A and B are shown apart, each in its own frame.
Chain A
Amino acid sequence: MPLTQTLEEQATFEIEEFLAAEQAKDLLRFSTAGSVDDGKSTLIGRLLYDSRNVYEDHVRAVTRSGGGSAASSIDFALLTDGLRAEREQGITIDVAYRFFSTARRKFIIADTPGHEQYTRNMATGASTADLAIILVDARKGLLTQSRRHAYIAALLGIPHVVAAINKMDLVDYSEEVFTRLSSDFHELAERVGLKSVEAIPISALEGDNVVHRNERMPWYVGPSLLEYLENVEVICRNDDAPFRLPVQRVIRPHQNFRGFAGQIAAGTVRPGDRIVALPSGRTSRVERIVTFDGELESASAPLSVTVTLEDKLDISRGDLIASADEPPAVANHFAASVVWLHEQPLTLGRRYLLKHASHIVPARVQAVRHRVDIETIEPRDAHSLELNGIGEIEVETDLPILADLYGENRTTGSFILIDAATNATVGAGMVREVLTTAIEHKAERRPRVVLAGRELAAELEERLLELGHPVVRTRVLERSVWRALDEAGVVALVESDDVAQVLSSEFETEPVGDGSVDSVLDALRLSGGKEWV
């Protein structure tokens, strides 16, 4: 481990000081990118090795026996290429997550594949990164995949990018080559919209400028890669942004406690803050912030908390609690950038499921505004997107989502598309523009599940059919069944002889209305995405 050397040199090891220092460290998540064989995995292996973050048994397992100095017989890429197929083919297929720390920081690395076929895995690794290292082979310069990855990094809003001009050993550590490639990269960065870009000449294989600066490139006066990683400012995680809490779950241990659990997506919350619950639009104040470790006076993103409210609002999973002064859009029609992740191309009008925050809603792609030609970074007309295609689309959802623009919030501005028939994750989307807010669409909001006694169920069924709503009555007490009915677009009337008992058990629903047919129909029309009685 990293601290081995220094700690052993110290006469005594002060564990408490060590833990205090550990706790003071912050966390930087970064990912690698670049074309196949540019040296990403080799770089990560080298970084881990030179910063003393690999165990001896792991190094032994990737050392070729015989010949050369210790470091030159290590196949660094194999420290991260952990699948058999990867070792056999000599390429990375899926993301490897590695962890290391230095005296200043903890790092989570996502080493991603360069091969075009596995772009979805690159996007997976990059989506949570604070920084991306895009490698460029000094002999080859910018390739299609370098452009694609730079473009994806820009779409995903990764705050910092390092252009690591690699294999400098193969171009005689030439300053001229570095200057040319670094200016090529800056030009690309400008075109795709990357803001913070740092170019560093390295040799992953030889270790030049990875951890230690090297005299083989005396003309380079900037930081080594690790020095840069240790010092780059980690973008503050939206402490001051408007408060957003996507509700994952209603916590109700007994009748007197009703808490809304979720991970704060942005901002800070304090008891007394005025909030709005969406999509209902009802307002209240935060009463308490409850955690296992006691109540909090304030909590900020990305903490996971449970809040209780002063008023009894009907809030359930998928809803969002937000600052009453700056709520997000309640949108069911919006434009988004999308990276297509599946062999089955994007199909206009096809039923997808859209997952946004803690909410899954049926959705359709209404239009492809354009696709991006990666060679030229120019928009082109298109009606579909193929695997690894990138473009801008217009999406309509059956129920509104509570969205911010991705540029303002990576958590409440992102979504994935799931194919409703195959369950595959097919697209990654970033909200760019809200086209219609759901307030104008209220009448179209679709009801879901109603739990009722036999008589009420029969009456409701009749009335709903009269009103032209497809409806199915069932006695099955299983969420999967309800969900299937709901997704088929029908009202599920769940009939039970003992509604109270079902309610008090696991289903976490609350009665609405006064139990009359009209009050239920009222509720059905007014709010979406809930279960009613």
Chain B
Amino acid sequence: MASSAVVDVPISTDRQRLSHLKQLEAESIHIFREVASEFEKPVMLYSIGKDSSVMLRLAQKAFYPAPIPFPLLHVDTGYKFREMLEFRDNYTRELGLDLLVWRNEAALAEGANPVKLGTQRCCGLLKTQALLDALRHYGFDAAFGGARRDEEKSRAKERIYSFRDKAGQWDPKAQRPELWNLYNSRVGPGESIRVFPLSNWTELDIWHYIHLERIPIVPLYFAKERRMLVRGDSLIPIEQSFVQGLPGEEQMVKCRLRSLGCSPCTGAIRSDADTLPKIIAELVSFRSSERANRIIDHDQDGSMEIKKREGYF
């Protein structure tokens, strides 16, 4: 009885000492309000994943009872899972949000895909280039991203306000000092910042918060029987025609996705976790990081840092 009650009550706010989730929430809300008030044209990068879902909820909280005062931008590589796009459209419509979608149509028309170009060049065109084009097209001067410092070593180094030069690039050796919660919002013409309100959240914090707050997430996170290509240890989703299996590779597997990306480049994991508590229990037992099943990060040593320097999130 007592233990199940904990899950259903909202996070208590009147405790002598605030729970760490409540502290993280307060910090994130503060960041949203600062940016929305100090920049001309902010935008929230919405990737449809669990971190974006949390970010969205925090943005709702920051401005409640007013609506979120900036649009959402989804950089659609063209290879996202169908279920992600459905979720995106339904959820943003339900909340009445202003959603912008941007694709690098020129590259897609030339048939850009990871099999043909390799993951690095493909990401460079469909993600990084598309993002920079979109930011420039709309003239956004601040873009919220859902990256967390616990995801990856070079992200652990990033400020909450991450300054970008005119080309949208990051110089890790010249980051601005960032003391207390006093963020320097001054940028010159053409310069911009990326803002990471979830910087101090861990993967476990995210799931815990989704559970407590009952935040909707894409069903792909939950385990169910799915048709997959089974190749060695990898489970490759079959959504695109250029993802072709060898005889016998195609099987029904109970599995789920731990992080959402493009279907050809995001491996699933075998899992029975079909509820949030089960996902959290599974997470606690993991021995590898969530990015271990992403193909892009491993292409070369420091590949995330290189991509970030080039303007990737």
Contacts and interface: CB of A to CB of B under 8 A. Distances in A.
Contact of B289 (A13, A55, A124): A55
B177 A425 contact: yes
Contacts of B21: 23
B172 A83 contact: yes
B117 interface: no
A33 interface: no
A297 B29 CA distance: 20
B17 A253 contact: no
Nearest to B152: A82
A20 B6 contact: yes
Interface stretch (A68-76, A416-424, A449-457, A489-497): A416-424
Given A8-B285, A18-B284, A428-B177, A82 B65 contact: no
A213 interface: no
B13 A261 contact: no
Contact of A83 (B36, B67, B154, B176): B154
B30 A248 contact: yes
A72 B243 CA distance: 43
Contacts of A1: 204, 283-286
A182 interface: no
Given A4-B287, A127-B179, A302-B27, A84 B305 contact: yes
B115 interface: no
Q: Which of B26, B29, B176, B182 gathers the greatest number of chain A CB atoms within 10 Å? A: B182
B18 A355 contact: no
B287 A263 contact: no
A248 B302 CA distance: 38
Nearest to A265: B181
B215 interface: no
B179 to A, nearest CB: 4
A423 B187 contact: yes
B173 to A, nearest CB: 6
Contact of B157 (A82, A127, A303, A506): A82
Contacts of B288: 55-57
Interface in A1-48: 1, 3-4, 7-8, 13-20, 22-27
Contacts of B152: 82
Interface in B271-313: 277-278, 280-281, 283-289, 292, 301-302, 305
A416 B179 contact: yes
Interface stretch (B56-64, B77-85, B98-106, B246-254): B56-64
Given A23-B11, A55-B292, A291 B179 contact: no
Contacts of A120: 177
B289 A425 contact: no
A443 interface: no
Interface in B1-32: 3-4, 6-7, 10-11, 13-14, 16-23, 25-27, 29-30
Interface stretch (A96-104, A165-173, A510-518): A96-104
B173 A17 contact: no
Nearest to A52: B287
Interface stretch (A190-198, A364-372, A407-415, A520-528): A407-415
Nearest to B14: A298
Contacts of B26: 263, 302-304
Contact of B277 (A16, A56, A251, A296): A16
B181 A411 contact: yes
Interface string B131-158: 0000000000000000001101111110
Query: Can you list the 3 inter-chain pairs with the closest CB atoms, starting with the nearest?
Result: A82-B153, A304-B29, A423-B186
29 contacts: A1-B283, A1-B284, A3-B284, A13-B284, A15-B281, A16-B6, A19-B212, A23-B19, A26-B17, A58-B153, A82-B155, A83-B172, A83-B302, A84-B302, A97-B199, A120-B177, A124-B177, A128-B180, A248-B33, A249-B63, A251-B66, A257-B65, A261-B33, A263-B30, A304-B25, A304-B26, A355-B182, A424-B176, A506-B69
Given A299-B13, A506-B69, 7 more contacts: A4-B285, A13-B281, A17-B3, A18-B281, A97-B200, A355-B183, A411-B181
